[in-house]
Amino acid sequence: MTWDFCTEPEFERKLEWMRELMRSEILPLETLRGELGWEGLQQAVTPLQRQVRDQGLWAAHLDPELGGQGFGQVKLGLMHEVLGASPIAPLVFGNAAPDSGNSEILALAGTPEQKDRYLHPLLAGDLKSAFSMTEPETAGSDPTLLRTRAVRDGDDWVINGHKWFSTNGSIADFLIVMAVTDPEARPHSRASMFIVDADTPGVEMVRDVATMEHPYESYGLYGNHAEIVYRDVRVPASALLGAEGAGFLIAQQRLYPGRIHHCMRWLGVARRAFDMMCERALYRHAHGSALGGHGVVQGWIADSEAELSAARLMTLHAAWKMDTQGVLQARKEIALIKFYGARVLHDVVDRAVQVHGGLGYSTDLPLETMYRFARAARIYDGPDEVHRASVARQVLRGYRAPADEVPTEFIPARREAARQQFAELLASVTSND
Ligand SMILES: Cc1cc2nc3c(=O)[nH]c(=O)nc-3n(C[C@H](O)[C@H](O)[C@H](O)COP(=O)(O)OP(=O)(O)OC[C@H]3O[C@@H](n4cnc5c(N)ncnc54)[C@H](O)[C@@H]3O)c2cc1C
């Protein structure tokens, strides 16, 4: 089958429009983020959001009936590669996590009433949301271990549990909570999703967890990660999102395309770090030459270029496979890029920091922010190790152990078989001697 990652000229013009908006408006705004604060930033991006809507690029991950573009994954990927270079751009384009993923879940599994009440205001930017699955007491990398419970009580569900790392939880208007509804069911059918209004009695915001990204205690900031206790939280039956027991299925449908978008965003960040590294290699001199004249730095540049190209092609291939064959057929490719892309992002940013020396470590350059961002990429959305194991399992399914436990390529056995196959030839060659 022919691989084709081409896009029509009209879409290339849209990409060029996005690149120009990044250069002229979004990247300059980045430097004022601290001074503007969240309110100021929102004011600054509002006119840009209008331009994005006028271009028909708002919330492009959704289908046209929900105001999106119905772009396939290849186009979305190319778009995320441009926008990923700045953390502000997704806000401008209506595809910032976790709202983008949550809007996909609502679009996928929501009832018409849930779409009216939550999805449409979310897309309009009137509501904020969070996805509340990971728990401090159980391994997030194995969500079948979830302990948060939702128990049916008459027409209601009552939720009890302890979550953390619910991004934007402390500023969210509603939370999508994953809870076990049938502990006796098969592991992947035990949990369901619920839409919980943040002001429901029993939703207790414990704190925002300080992280490598925001190392100082703060509360209620955009991008913070909330620790939340759900104590006897009573929600109506209409809060169930999708079918009972379908929590994992819905999460998977959201996560697969989301991983392609993550990887393309990472490539946008890594390319920006790479550009900084190359620029630095040309003008900084040490030990008799520009840094780019030293073999080690040349190696870093060449390795980074190769890894970026490989990660980009792998990601576009995964996107193309999802577009042409469906999400299940692309599972291996998506797991592959999740850990490979996160590693490439990390390594390229790390080399760029190193080439800049002390300046790279300082906040005078965006590299240190990128480095912290890159570190998280290896953990969220499934740690590297889980995706590696998944790829290996899928690869191994394509192989069979030899019945006699002799390697297929074992030369003595192959030679013996070949002797029989070519007995006549061998006899004639031997008799010629
Ligand atoms: C920036 C950020 C944002 C996040 N946002 C959200 C959010 O919005 N909502 C939400 O619910 N969660 C969120 N999370 C949580 C995230 O999904 C979890 O941290 C992740 O799933 C890992 O779970 P854990 O932290 O419990 O680590 P654990 O499951 O305890 O894993 C720890 C380590 O164990 C190792 N490990 C695990 N399994 C295997 C294996 N099979 N083989 C070998 N080694 C293994 C890995 O090295 C792994 O890193 C976020 C996390 C971060 C860092």
Q: Is the CB of 340 under 6 A from ligand 1?
A: no
Between β-strands 203-209 and 191-197, what pairing exists: parallel, antiparallel or unpaired?
Answer: unpaired
- Residues 62-114 have pLDDT tens digits of 888 776 778 889 999 999 999 999 999 999 998 888 998 899 899 999 999 99
Please state, for a pLDDT cut of 70, what percent of the chain lies above it.
99
pLDDT attached to residue 71: 84
Average pLDDT, the chain: 94
Residue 433: what pLDDT? 59
What is the 373 CA–ligand 1 centroid distance (Å)?
Answer: 15
Q: What CA–CA distance (Å, rounded) separates 372 from 347?
A: 12
CA of 33 from ligand 1 middle (Å) equals: 28
> Residue 67: left (phi > 0), alpha (psi -120 to 50), or beta?
left
C-beta 132 within 6 A of ligand 1: yes
CB within 8 A of 192, min separation 6: which ones? Answer: 150, 178, 179, 181, 240, 241, 242, 243, 244, 245, 246, 247
Please state the atom number of ligand 1 nearest to the C-alpha of residue 376: 53
Q: Whose C-alpha lies nearest to ligand 1, atom 48?
A: 383
Cross-strand pairs, 177: 132, 194
DSSP 37-94: HHHHHHHHHHHHHHHHHHTT-TTTTS-GGGTS----HHHHHHHHHHHTTSTTHHHHTT
- For atom 28 of ligand 1, the residue with the nearest CA is 139
Q: In sequence order, what are the beta bridge partners of 285?
A: 290
Q: Structure tokens of 208?
A: 């925002």
State the pLDDT at residue 4. Answer: 77
Output the CA 228–ligand 1 centroid distance in Å.
17
Give 222 Cα–ligand 1 centroid separation in angstroms.
21
Token pair in block for residue 374: 């890159």
Query: Quick check: CB of 223 below 6 Å from ligand 1?
Result: no
Helices (H), 168-223: none
Residues of the chain whose pLDDT is less than 50?
A: none
* pTM of the entire predicted model: 0.93
Q: Determine if ligand 1 sits within 6 Å of the CB of residue 194.
A: no
Which residue owns the Cα nearest ligand 1 atom 42? Answer: 385
Report whether residue 145 contacts ligand 1, using a CB cutoff of 6 Å. no
